[in-house]
Amino acid sequence: MERLILPLILLLIGASAAVFVTFREKKLNTVVEASSEKIDQLKMLNERIGFLNIQPEFYVYKVYDNKSNFNRIDPAYLMAAELRNNIGFFTMYFEQLQQNRNTLQQYEAKTQEILAGYSAVDYEKLKIKESEYKRREEKLLNKHRIIPVTNCAFHVVMNYSSPKGRVQLTKNGLYGPDDMFACLESVSRSHLDKSTYNGLAAVERGEVSDSLRYDILRRDNFTCVLCGASARQGARLHVDHIVPIAKGGKSVPSNLRTLCERCNIGKLDKIETVSETKTAMDHTPDDLVCSWCGGKLVLRKGKYGDFYGCSNFPTCKFTKKLP
């Protein structure tokens, strides 16, 4: 029993000492905080200063199911595509970043004036040594100093996973403000240089994943929407951008269609009018596409009123009520 009492007493003494030290620290800091003219001046400066609350980091995560797309695309061009798609935001962002940097120079100059200034303190009345007071004052001043966002980073993470998950590949990119600004200047030009254009085009083509490609082929019944050639007839099918990437086209379902290799090669980067484009969609909204076979929904009249029916009836008997 006596062996247990001594460790317990020592434990209680240690805990009491820790509580006392913590209490003393808080009390002394409170005394310095309340009496320091420099801390008051810094607080007033903080209230007047105009730092902007801006984002310090940006992230792009991309997952690919097509290894060729993954290998073809450099992380830097994923950043370039993000900057180009949000030119207005990032142009303003860099203006705000520079404003914070300019304001920080003024803030640091005024802070140094405060630190170098003289403040009358009655150390005896406060019952604290001068060295102890100044040490705590400096620590509290650093605590109150504002640290604005004057730097930024852009993170790119690219992952590829094979269909069965046996192959896992990753590419990363980390870019600082100078990289980002140079990239923004490059993609902001009215005429892009060849390498920038090729990089951005590769990123856009990479948006056509294997999964999206299958969805487009299925929607168009695995048939060329221009000449009617099908995979069953031995035609090699491509997924084509109606508005080419070279003319600003995006890799979205409404801008994609199925073409046979011959029609796709013949089309090149031409843009067709709506009347010339004889696709299964004809710019049909996604909600007018059959969810069973991907065919076009057409308006039909029935016994109980109008409804949408699949254009591939009677092979497909999907129906949809009018909204």
Give the residue carrying structure tokens 């979205």: 252
Contact 42, 144 (CB under 8 A): yes
> Quick one: how many helices (H) and strands (E) in the chain?
11, 8
Residues 269-296 have a mean pLDDT of: 52
Does position 5 have pLDDT exceeding 60, yes or no?
Answer: yes
Bridge partners, 64 (sequence order): 160
DSSP H helices, the chain, are: 2-35, 37-48, 67-72, 75-85, 87-116, 123-126, 130-144, 177-188, 194-205, 210-219, 261-267
Distance spanning both ends of the chain, measured CA to CA: 83
Average pLDDT over residues 237-249: 86
Question: Per the structure block, which two tokens stand in for 114?
Answer: 């405060």
110 falls in which pLDDT band (50, 70, 90)? very high
At residue 24 the predicted structure's pLDDT band, cuts being 50, 70 and 90, is low
Instruction: Report how far residue 96's alpha carbon sits from residue 98's, in angstroms, rounded to the nearest whole number.
Output: 5
Q: What percent of the chain has pLDDT over 70?
A: 79
Q: What pLDDT is stored for residue 281 in this prediction?
A: 39
Please determine, for residue 112, whether its predicted confidence score (pLDDT) is greater than 80: yes
Burial of 158 (0-12, 13-18, 19+ CB in 10 A): buried
Residue 289 backbone phi and psi in degrees, to 5: -110, 130
127's torsion region: left (phi>0), alpha (psi -120 to 50) or beta? Answer: left
Confidence of residue 102 (pLDDT cuts 50, 70, 90): very high
The winner for highest mean pLDDT among 31-35, 254-258, 275-279 is: 254-258
Between CA 182 and CA 214, with CA 79 as vertex, the angle to 5 degrees is 150
Could you give the CA distance from residue 84 to residue 90 in angstroms, rounded to a whole number?
A: 9
Q: Mind listing the pLDDT tens digit for each residue in 59-74? A: 999 999 999 999 999 9
Instruction: Kindly state the average pLDDT of the residues 107-122.
Output: 87
Give the pLDDT confidence score for residue 280 in this predicted structure.
Answer: 37
pLDDT for the residue 268: 64
Nearest C-alpha neighbor of 98 from the set 174, 149, 46:
149
Residue type, 278: K
pLDDT class of 295 with cuts at 50, 70, 90: low
Residue 281 amino acid letter: M
Predicted model pTM:
0.70
Average pLDDT of the chain is 82
Residue 2 in this model has a pLDDT that exceeds 60: no
* Closest to 175 (Cα-Cα) out of 196, 154, 151: 154
**Is the backbone of residue 248 left (phi > 0), alpha (psi -120 to 50) or beta?**
left
44, pLDDT greater than 60: yes
The answer to whether the beta carbons of residues 142 and 36 sit under 8 Å apart is: no
Q: Which fold has domain 207-283?
A: DNA Binding (I), subunit A (1.10.30)
Residue 117 banded pLDDT, cuts 50, 70, 90: confident
Cα dist from 132 to 41, 52, 61, 70, 311, whole Å: 21, 35, 50, 60, 86
Query: Across the strands, what pairs with 59?
Result: 155
Give the per-residue pLDDT at 315. Answer: 61
The answer to whether 98 and 50 have CB atoms below 8 angstroms apart is no
Average pLDDT over residues 39-49: 91
Q: Is the model's pLDDT at 278 over the cut of 50?
A: no
Size (the chain), residues: 323
What pLDDT, in 10s, does the model give residues 280-291?
A: 334 444 456 665
What lies within 8 Å, CB to CB, of 307 at 6+ separation is 299, 300, 319, 320, 321, 322
